[in-house]
């Protein structure tokens, strides 16, 4: 997997020349004339339920992007559920296993489709509820616990932040990126929606990260420079905070932006700690930080505070960190084949596997990777 490929797939490689306000007091932005329906609407979703009674691990997208499936069972006895087709979806879905829903772009201008996720619907077809926003969602990024979505409109070079997912979506604010130079490479949004980040890369290898936030006097937002960086390929917020993690691919380091950079920046881990071409970084709810290097089966783990980062082998070639139903569990591998799942809510992280299908051979039992090396 090459860096250029990551950027092209995620964002289309298009060059681009406060404290949280109570969401109950925010009014949805009036729809544009081009919208097919009047404003966001209440979304009624069915709560996650599994008629078979199997524990739910989370959800994963099909390798072809046309649907998704549930990961069910226990560590060491996990299995994939049936294929779930997303009716009417016109783009790839963003999945919130923690929130038990998926969201995708619809066919109409500004239409977003929300799907309540159940492991075993009788028909295998998930029917959406729809609401309308100002952005044409070419890219959808969810907050760590899934209550907020960031929508990127490539043509208009605009970000829209939507809160209240999945049942009561409403627009918080929009921010124009038109005045920011460079190539947009990564996006992230906090769980309260108050802060978002956009990373840009320049031809000379330098880059900048901008902090996006709502203007208290209007429905629009502002962008301010938060930090300098190289080429950033992934960013994520620590759950239920405004502190963000940044994976700097070229410089081989992971940064922490306190309050989205407003309270300073510090290095979490670098090359001396085993960070090489990082492509994903996420934090568990207990403060541990997990870093995936491109093409590597060794994860870097950084503790909270000043703890020295350590290394352990996951027994797979990790390609990402996708948060599952338990917010301290992450899917490490994407696409087809056996899926590796990281359990991060333990003193010693562990990995277990979900087979590709009923006929697939599953690695024996839950595995605890090699001990973290300090």
Structure tokens at 165: 């997912």
What tens digit of pLDDT does each residue of 295-322 get?
A: 999 999 997 555 689 998 999 999 999 9
Structure tokens at 232: 């950033």
DSSP 367: B
What tens digit of pLDDT does each residue of 115-162 get?
A: 999 877 777 889 999 999 999 999 999 999 999 999 999 999 999 999
pLDDT value at 10 more than 70: no
Q: Using an 8 Å Cβ cutoff, are 155 and 148 in contact?
A: no
Q: How far is CA 35 from CA 52, 186, 230, 302, in A?
A: 41, 28, 38, 46
pLDDT value at 65 more than 80: no
Distance (Å, rounded) from C-alpha 212 to C-alpha 70? 34
Q: Using an 8 Å Cβ cutoff, are 207 and 159 in contact?
A: no
In the structure, what pLDDT confidence band is assigned to residue 330 with cuts at 50, 70 and 90?
Answer: very high
pLDDT at position 89 is: 93
What tens digit of pLDDT does each residue of 161-180 get?
A: 999 999 999 999 999 999 89
Q: Using an 8 Å Cβ cutoff, are 139 and 153 in contact?
A: no
**How high does pLDDT run on average in the chain?**
82
Q: For residue 260, which of 11, 13, 17, 20 has the smallest C-alpha distance?
A: 20
Mean pLDDT check: name the lowest of 116-125, 166-175, 215-224, 254-263.
116-125
pLDDT value at 214 more than 70: yes
- Average pLDDT of 210-230? 91
Mean pLDDT check: name the lowest of 16-20, 94-98, 250-254.
16-20
What tens digit of pLDDT does each residue of 331-342 get?
A: 999 877 899 999
Higher pLDDT residue, 324 or 373? 324
Phi, psi values for residue 59, rounded to 5°: -130, 150
pLDDT value at 345 more than 80: no
In the structure, what pLDDT confidence band is assigned to residue 204 with cuts at 50, 70 and 90?
Answer: confident
pLDDT at position 349 is: 87
Distance (Å, rounded) from C-alpha 159 to C-alpha 361? 44
pLDDT at position 305 is: 57
pLDDT value at 91 more than 70: yes
pLDDT at position 118 is: 81
């Amino acid at each position: 997997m090459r860096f250029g490929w990551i950027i092209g797939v995620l964002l289309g490689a298009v060059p681009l020349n406060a404290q949280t306000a109570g969401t109950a007091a925010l009014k949805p932005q009036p729809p544009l004339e081009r919208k097919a329906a009047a404003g966001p609407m209440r979304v009624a979703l069915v709560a996650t339920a599994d008629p078979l009674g199997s524990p739910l691990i989370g959800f994963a997208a099909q390798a072809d992007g046309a649907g998704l499936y549930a990961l069910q069972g226990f560590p060491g006895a996990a299995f994939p559920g049936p294929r779930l087709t997303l009716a009417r979806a016109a783009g790839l879905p963003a999945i919130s296993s923690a929130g038990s829903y998926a969201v995708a772009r619809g066919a109409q201008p500004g239409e977003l489709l929300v799907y309540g996720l159940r492991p075993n619907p009788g028909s295998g077809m998930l029917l959406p509820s729809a609401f309308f926003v100002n952005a044409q969602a070419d890219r959808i990024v969810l907050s760590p616990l899934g209550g907020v979505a960031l929508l990127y409109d490539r043509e208009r070079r605009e970000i829209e932040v939507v809160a209240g997912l999945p049942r009561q979506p409403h627009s918080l604010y929009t921010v124009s990126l038109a005045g920011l130079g460079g190539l947009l490479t990564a996006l992230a949004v906090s769980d309260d929606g108050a802060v978002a980040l956009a990373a840009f890369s320049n031809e000379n290898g330098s880059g900048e990260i901008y902090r996006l936030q709502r203007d208290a006097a209007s429905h629009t937002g502002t962008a301010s420079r938060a930090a300098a960086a190289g080429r950033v390929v992934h960013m994520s917020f620590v759950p239920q905070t405004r502190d963000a993690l940044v994976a700097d691919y070229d410089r081989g380091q992971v940064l922490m932006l306190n309050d989205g950079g407003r309270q300073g920046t510090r290095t979490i881990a670098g090359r001396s700690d085993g960070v090489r071409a990082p492509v994903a970084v996420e934090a568990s709810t207990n403060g541990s930080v997990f870093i995936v290097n491109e093409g590597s089966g060794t994860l870097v783990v950084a503790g909270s505070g000043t703890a020295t980062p350590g290394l352990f082998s996951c027994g797979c070639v990790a390609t990402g960190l996708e948060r599952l139903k338990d917010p301290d569990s992450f899917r490490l591998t994407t696409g087809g084949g056996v899926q590796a799942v990281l359990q991060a809510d333990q003193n010693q992280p562990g990995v277990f596997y979900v087979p590709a299908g009923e006929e697939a051979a599953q690695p024996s039992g839950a595995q605890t990777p090699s001990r973290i090396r300090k």
